[in-house]
Structure 1
Amino acid sequence: MILVTGGTGFVGSHLVRRLVQEKIQTRCLVRKTSSLERLPRGIEVVYGDVNDKESLKKATEDVEAVIHLVGIILEHKGATFEIIHTQGTKNLVEASREAGVKRFIYVSALGSRENAQSRYHITKWQAEQDVIKSGMEYVILRPSIMIGERGTFITMLSNVIKKAPVVPIIGGDSKVQPIYVENTVDCLIKSLTERKTTNRIFEIAGPEQITYRQLFLTLMEALGVKKPTIDIPIWLMWLPAYILENVLDKPPITTQQLIMLQEDNICDIKEMQEVFNLKLVPLRDVLKKTPVAGIAEK
């Protein structure tokens, strides 16, 4: 039995579909407020939360491996990076260890480190430490930005491109290395059984390192949108972002995101390819083959 947390989310919905296809017995921990539309038939559902320890006891019963996907990019009351990433992972690690789980696979984020500038990356790193010290076999994946069907990142950028009379590009010179969500799923599936992955951390990313400006232009081309663009310096966004995150539940930009935009989100994929041997899908091909923000249905 495999336990997946975050199974109704972007990565999780792709993962559980593949697990069912592979005929791997799977259980999903979901909140009562979550929609189950993305879960295929054959998935066992347990209601709970990573910060509800009693529900974690039930969720981890008779489980051999855990794939932990739960994470947030926007904070709100009762759901900070510290509560979800650090404490939530700590709770799940403890429950898994007590239940006799043998293998724990955690999806962290590229850029996670002890001395990171953003709290997002620091809390992801803290979660990694609990996984590493758990005594269970572990695999930690640190993906760059993930793209694909139902991906919130590309959908958000697409909405900006479609609605704005002039397309604003913030932090345009920073580099990113988008990875197709199904390639991330490839890594997760292989991590369940491939011994070469045991007790290792892998930085995973796509085949292309591009700037955010290039990403916007590629997406505009895929959408068939021809508009002027304007580069906006990050420093000019600090005050608006601070105001927006203090008055809106879901601000379009936050100060934590601006901090992350100041650094490249790229890595060397040699080690990833040596172990996982992926057929990586380039950005343009992802935009052609998946209905990202309506692109493929044009």
Structure 2
Amino acid sequence: MKKVLIAGATGYLGGYITKELMNNSYTVKALVRSLEKLEEKNIEVSEIFQGEITKSDSIKDCCKDIDIVISTVGITRQKDGLTYMDVDYQANMNLLEEAKKNAVKKFIYVSVLNGENLKNLKICEAKELFVEQLKKSGLDYCIVRPNGFFSDMTEFYEMAKKGRVYLLGDGKYQTNPIHGEDLAKLCVEAINDSKQEIEVGGPEILTHDEIAIKAFEALKIEAKITHIPNWMRISILKIARLFLKDKTYGPIEFFLTVMAMNMVAPEYGKHTLKEYFTKLKMSDKLNENDSIK
């Protein structure tokens, strides 16, 4: 069985990929910075390599005897003073250099749908710069391009809890976000897939209005939706660019851009947003009961 190195094992998607690999009897080495975080999340692996991927010296030989590298490394909210170029680009480049040195057979990288057309966004600029280098590396590769995670849709639920959901435009933009467990399955399938790029979304295509309504339905409250005109979105972006630092502006820029366009990808998986929102509601109820105790 092939030996796989997973970088980003303690992240949202990385955790699901690691579990899927172990369930399929792969030998899995996790590249992690924090052993405690791996234990906290109860992630089981065959082997652990501790190192900081942003520091090339600390990951030396991490790819020794590795057949496949899967990287989900990237940041949506900067921390530790690191930038998108530090993590989404340079950290992955450090890993790619190790993969090349050790003759890794395939490198699988998770980017974002339409990233190649959104390089004006700070997040996508760094990701796609790495994609360009991966393509030139000489290694067999696969770039997985999801259009958004269920976890990103939590914002709809949180707004609905407060009684009103605010949407950009007329609410008719479409998307089909994917659950991390479903995306993990596809990433593992990509090990033996000959495709070099895979665009993927969840099993149901919904408008933003429909996503908001599902959140209200899960909460069993009346749906109240306000549509924000595009000129206001543009104004917010201009003001944010002037007054916010990159680490704060980047996520806002990405969110306000992709929420004002269709983000539909080929359908895959089994998990639905209705199930996801219902689980969020159940989790809220459990937390309420615990606080009462």
Question: Any conservation in 2 of the 1:238–1:255 contact (CA below 8 Å)?
Answer: no
Query: How far does the alpha carbon of each residue in 1:182-213 deviate from its partner, in whole angstroms, 9 at most, with x for none?
Result: 22111112122x2xx23510101123222222
Matched residue type, 2:16: H
- Which residue of the partner structure matches residue 21 of structure 1? 23
Question: Any conservation in 1 of the 2:4–2:28 contact (CA below 8 Å)?
Answer: yes
C-alpha change, 1:112 and 1:247, in structure 2 (3 Å) is: closer
Aligned with 2:213 (options 176, 200, 217): 217
| Equivalent residues in 2 for 1:94-109, closer than 5 Å | 94-109=97-112
Matched residue type, 1:281: H
| Equivalent residues in 2 for 1:103-142, closer than 5 Å | 103-113=106-116, 116-142=119-145
Gaps of 5+ in 1: 270-277
- Which residue of the partner structure matches residue 63 of structure 2? 60
TM-score using structure 2 length: 0.82
C-alpha change, 1:34 and 1:72, in structure 2 (3 Å) is: farther
Question: Any conservation in 2 of the 1:20–1:40 contact (CA below 8 Å)?
Answer: no
- Distance in 1 separating the partners of 2:283 and 2:230: 28
- Which residue of the partner structure matches residue 47 of structure 2? 44
Question: Any conservation in 2 of the 1:2–1:26 contact (CA below 8 Å)?
Answer: yes
Count residues in correspondence: 280
Matched residue type, 1:10: Y
Q: Secondary structure at the match of 1:58?
A: coil
Question: Any conservation in 2 of the 1:8–1:39 contact (CA below 8 Å)?
Answer: no
Question: Any conservation in 2 of the 1:13–1:39 contact (CA below 8 Å)?
Answer: no
Matched residue type, 1:246: L
Question: Any conservation in 1 of the 2:178–2:202 contact (CA below 8 Å)?
Answer: yes
- Which residue of the partner structure matches residue 262 of structure 2? 264
- Distance in 1 separating the partners of 2:155 and 2:142: 30
- Distance in 2 separating the partners of 1:159 and 1:115: 27
Matched residue type, 2:261: E
Per-residue deviation at 1:53? 0.6
Per-residue deviation at 1:61? 2.0
Question: Any conservation in 2 of the 1:167–1:228 contact (CA below 8 Å)?
Answer: yes
Q: Secondary structure at the match of 1:231?
A: strand
Per-residue deviation at 1:219? 1.7
Query: How far does the alpha carbon of each residue in 1:254-297 deviate from its partner, in whole angstroms, 9 at most, with x for none?
Result: 1332123222111345xxxxxxxx55434334545xx3464697
Per-residue deviation at 1:105? 0.7
- Distance in 2 separating the partners of 1:114 and 1:169: 23
Instruction: State the percentage of identical aligned residues.
Output: 23
TM-score using structure 1 length: 0.81
Per-residue deviation at 1:41? 3.1
| Equivalent residues in 2 for 1:1-298, closer than 5 Å | 1-32=3-34, 35-36=37-38, 37-75=40-78, 78-113=81-116, 116-147=119-150, 151=151, 153-162=152-161, 164-171=162-169, 172-192=171-191, 194=192, 197-198=193-194, 200-238=196-234, 240=236, 242-243=239-240, 246=244, 254-269=252-267, 279-288=269-278, 291-292=279-280, 294=282
C-alpha change, 1:293 and 1:122, in structure 2 (3 Å) is: farther
Per-residue deviation at 1:51? 1.4
Per-residue deviation at 1:121? 2.4
Per-residue deviation at 1:84? 1.6
- Structure with bigger helix share is 2
C-alpha change, 1:26 and 1:292, in structure 2 (3 Å) is: farther
Q: Secondary structure at the match of 1:29?
A: strand
- Distance in 2 separating the partners of 1:130 and 1:293: 43
Gaps of 5+ in 2: 287-293
